[in-house]
Amino acid sequence: MSQRLISRSPDLQRLRDDGYDIEVRAGHLLVKDVPYVNERREIKRGVLVSTLRLANDSTDRPDTHVVHWAGEFPCSKDGVRLTPQLEHASGESNLGDGIVVQHSFSNKFKDRDYIDYYEKMTRYVAIISHPARAIDPSVTAQTHPITEGGEEDDSVFHYTDNATSRAGIGLFTRRLRGRRIAIVGIGGSGAYVLDFVAKTPVAEIHLFDGDELSQHNAFRSPGAASGADLGRKPNKAQYFAEHYSRMRRHITAHPEYVGESNIAELRDMDFVFVCIDKGEARRLIVARLDEFGVPFIDVGMGLYMADEGLGGLARVTTSTPDRREPLRSGQRIPFSGDEDHNEYSRNIQIAELNALNAALAVIKWKKWCGFYVDLEHELHSIYVINGNLVVNEDQS
pLDDT at 5: 84
Check whether residue 206 and residue 255 sit in a common domain. yes
| Amino acid 148: pLDDT | 67
Instruction: Compute the average pLDDT of residues 18-28.
Output: 90
Residue 292 located in a structural domain: yes
Give 274's contacts (C-beta < 8 A, 6+ positions apart): 184, 185, 282, 285, 286, 289, 296, 297, 298, 299
Q: Tell me whether residue 156 is in a domain.
A: no
252 vs 56 pLDDT, higher one? 252
- Per-residue confidence band for 328, with pLDDT thresholds at 50, 70 and 90: low
Average pLDDT over residues 201-212: 97
In contact, 83 and 57? CB cutoff 8 Å: no
Element containing residue 380 per DSSP (H, E): strand 380-384
Tell me whether residue 85 is in a domain: yes
**Residue 323 shares a structural domain with residue 212:** yes
pLDDT > 80? residue 4: no
Indicate whether 9 and 126 sit together in one domain: yes
> In which element (H, E) is residue 296 found?
strand 296-306
Report the alpha-carbon distance of residue 82 to residue 240 in Å, rounded: 55
Same domain, 99 and 244: no
Residue 339's pLDDT is what? 46
Q: What is the pLDDT of residue 338?
A: 46
> For position 87, what pLDDT does the model report?
79
Q: Classify residue 12: in a domain, yes or no.
A: yes
- Kindly state the DSSP code that residue 291 receives in the 8-state scheme: H
Q: Please check whether residues 190 and 292 belong to one and the same domain.
A: yes
Mapped onto helix, strand or coil, the DSSP state of residue 252 is strand
Overall average pLDDT of the 15-37 stretch: 93
Q: How much is the pLDDT for 387?
A: 94
Task: Give φ, ψ of 85 to 5 degrees.
Answer: -80, -25
Mean confidence (pLDDT) of the chain: 90
In this prediction, what percent of the chain has a pLDDT beyond 70?
92
In this structure, the answer to whether residues 93 and 220 fall within a common structural domain is no
- Residue 328: give the domain boundaries: 169-393
Does residue 357 surpass a pLDDT of 70?
yes
In this prediction, residue 270 carries a pLDDT of 98
C-alpha pair distances (Å), 251 with each of 149, 156, 261, 353 = 17, 10, 22, 25
State whether 212 and 72 are in the same domain. no
Averaged pLDDT for residues 168-194: 92
Residue among 139, 244, 147, 106 at smallest CA distance from 186: 244
pLDDT of the residue at 139: 97
Residue 167 has pLDDT above 90, yes or no: no
Domain count, the chain: 2
Question: Phi-psi bin for 154: left (phi > 0), alpha (psi -120 to 50), beta?
Answer: left
159 located within any domain: no
User: How far is C-alpha 379 from the chain's CA centre?
Assistant: 27
In terms of domains, do 177 and 265 share one? yes
Containing 305, the helix (H) or strand (E) segment is strand 296-306
- The lowest-confidence range among 82-91, 154-163, 296-305, 369-378 is 154-163
Mean pLDDT of 254-263: 96
Predicted local confidence at residue 348, as pLDDT? 67
Closest-CA residue to 347 (of 260, 277, 299, 396): 277
- Across 335-346, average pLDDT: 49
Domain end (from 119, 148, 177): 148
C-alpha angle 55-59-64 in degrees, rounded to nearest 5: 100
Answer whether residue 20 is part of any domain.
yes
pLDDT exceeds cutoff 80 at 154: no
Residue 160 lies in a domain: no
Could you tell me the CATH number of the domain that includes residue 191? Answer: 3.40.50.720
pLDDT in the model for residue 394: 86
DSSP 8-class letter at 220 = S
d(CA 7, CA 201): 14
- pLDDT-derived band at 326, boundaries 50, 70, 90: low
At position 73, the amino acid (one-letter code) is F
In a domain, 154, yes or no: no
- Which residue would you say has higher pLDDT here, 302 or 181? 181
Please compute the mean of the pLDDT values over residues 309-313 and round it to a whole number: 92
Do 184 and 66 share a structural domain? no
Give yes or no for a contact between 198 and 247, defined as CB atoms under 8 angstroms apart.
Answer: yes
- Between 66 and 170, the higher pLDDT residue: 66
The span from the CA of 380 to the CA of 326, in Å, is 9
